[in-house]
Amino acid sequence: MKHAAHTALGALAAICALGMSAPAIAAWEPVRPVEFIVPAGTGGGADQMARTIQGIVTKHNLMKQPLVVINKSGGAGGEGFLDVKSSGGNPHKIIITLSNLFTTPLATGIPFSWKDLTPVAMLALDEFVLWVNAEKPYKTAKEYIEAVKAAPAGSMKMGGTGSKQEDQIITVAVEKATGSKFTYIPYKGGGEVAVQLVGNHVDSTVNNPIEAVAQWRGGKLRPLCVFDAQPMAYDEQIADGKSWKDIPTCKSQGLDMEYVMLRGIFMSPRATKDQIEYYVELFKKVRATPEWQDFMKSGAFNTTFLTGADYAKWLETEDKRHQTLMKDAGFLAAAGN
């Protein structure tokens, strides 16, 4: 009897395998619509990425159940993270993160940490570039920093997205590395920041490539350096005969600061191995589509893909680093009160 059952199971598995085009059969699949939480407002970088993924999944039929994007931006994203944290054991909820995964609990004291969630995969890393208005004479980061140092302390304005988040962390780190002093002005969104720079209402920004590329191509902005360990990989010409690859690293310009932003996926707590595996496979398929590759190229993303233990280790390191950066900058909630 036992033997017969095995044979029957084997036959069943064979039929299933024949029915599927992919060799790996996911042991778990969503049985109702999956909520895709964005801990930021509509139109921002994380939101764009989430909606692109949603579009790709729909267009290529990668999921049997719909993927629904929901923005929960309250409290610098804390609303979204708390929502996922409190949905333990619900595999139909995933969240895309930005650096507020680390900064929001530190700056606001909202009770959560990335360890409360289940890491799924790192999709990409977003770069940061130092931008100035193209009308200004500064051709290199060195020239610009000299000008900032020469000006009265605090008279040069750095525009950025949000307060006590990635843009301001970088600003403070630049100040520390060079002994300069900026006045940091927080705005709601990256696109707005880029336009404020075009209108000369601020002196520089650390916009992500996708937020400022249109203004660079329009000849309004000039990139000075990228805050990464090596130059970006894309060598397609963008403006005045330059490509992303031609932008030097800030370190090579004497500005010793590296910062990249996580675009990663997490699940609610207590997810099973099969469930994690399902989403990892899903995002592997998303990454293989031409739409995704176009999107990566248009935003000059660093396309590192990590899962499992490697991803967790990366998160661990970045978490420690953010604690140090935030503490040094005086951005911790306890210090602020």
Partner 1 sequence: MEELVNLFHGFAVALQPFNIMVMVVGIVLGVLIGVLPGLGGANGVAILLPLTFSMSPTSAIIMLSCIYWGALFGGAITSILFNIPGEPWSVATTFDGYPMAQKGKAGEALTAAFTSSFVGALFAVVMITLVAPLVASFALQFGPAEKFAVYFLAFCSFVGLSKEPPFKTIAAMMIGFALAAVGLDSITGQLRLTFGMTHLLNGFDFLIAVIGLFGIGEILLTMEEGLAFRGGNAKINLRVVLQTWKELPAYWITSLRSCLIGCWMGVTPAGATPASFMSYGIAKRVAKKGNNFGKGEIEGVVAPETAAHAAGTAALLPMLSLGVPGSPTAAVLLGGLLIWGLQPGPMLFVEQKEFVWGLIASMYLGNIVGLLVVLTCVPVFAAILRVPFSIIAPLILVLCAIGAYSVHSSTFDVVLMLVFGVIGYLLKKANYPLAPLVLAIVLGDKAEEAFRQSLLGSQGSLGIFFSNTLVSSIMVLGLIALFWSAIQQGYTRLRGATA
Binding site for partner 1 (CB under 8 A): 41-43, 47-48, 51-52, 54-56, 58-59, 69-70, 72-76, 78-79, 82, 107-110, 154-155, 157, 162-165, 183-189, 191-192, 194-196, 198-199, 201-202, 210, 213-215, 217-220, 291, 294-295, 298, 331, 333, 336-337
Looking at residue 36, its amino acid is F
Judged by beta carbon, residue 73 or residue 307, the one nearer partner 1 is: 73
Looking at the Cβ atoms of 116 and 256, the one nearer to partner 1 is 116
CB–CB of 149/155 below 8 Å?
A: no
- Supply the minimum distance, in Å, between the C-beta of residue 110 and partner 1: 7
- Name the amino acid, one letter, at 13: A
Tokens 């008279």 belong to 155
Nearest distance in Å: CB 7, partner 1: 44
C-alpha angle 78-81-85 in degrees, rounded to nearest 5? 130
CB nearer to partner 1: give 75 or 248.
75
Phi, psi (degrees; rounded to nearest 5) at 30: -65, 140
Whether the Cβ atoms of residue 124 and residue 325 lie closer than 8 Å to each other: no
Nearest distance in Å: CB 126, partner 1: 14
Tell me how far, at minimum, the Cβ of 196 lies from partner 1, in Å. 6
**Nearest CA-CA partner of 200 in 221, 178, 184:** 221
Query: Which residue, 109 or 254, has its beta carbon nearer to partner 1?
Result: 109
> What span, in angstroms and rounded, lies between the C-alpha atoms of 39 and 149?
37
DSSP result, 268-304: -SS--HHHHHHHHHHHHHHHTSHHHHHHHHHTT-B--
Q: Which is nearer to partner 1, 201 or 321 (CB)?
A: 201
Beta carbon nearer to partner 1, 58 or 140: 58
Q: Which is nearer to partner 1, 52 or 249 (CB)?
A: 52
The residue among 60 and 176 lying less far from partner 1, judged by its C-beta, is 60
Comparing CA positions, the residue from 212, 247, 245, 252 lying closest to residue 226 is: 247
Smallest gap from Cβ 48 to partner 1, in A, equals: 5
Integer-rounded Cα radius of gyration of the chain: 22
Please state the closest distance from residue 93 (CB atom) to partner 1, in A: 12
- Nearest approach in angstroms of CB 44 to partner 1 is 9
Least distance between partner 1 and beta carbon 162 (Å): 7
Distance CA 257, CA 255 (A): 6
**C-beta of residue 177 within 8 angstroms of C-beta of residue 257:** yes
> Considering only CA atoms, which of 86, 74, 69 is closest in space to residue 40?
74
- How far is it, in rounded angstroms, from Cα 40 to Cα 263? 12
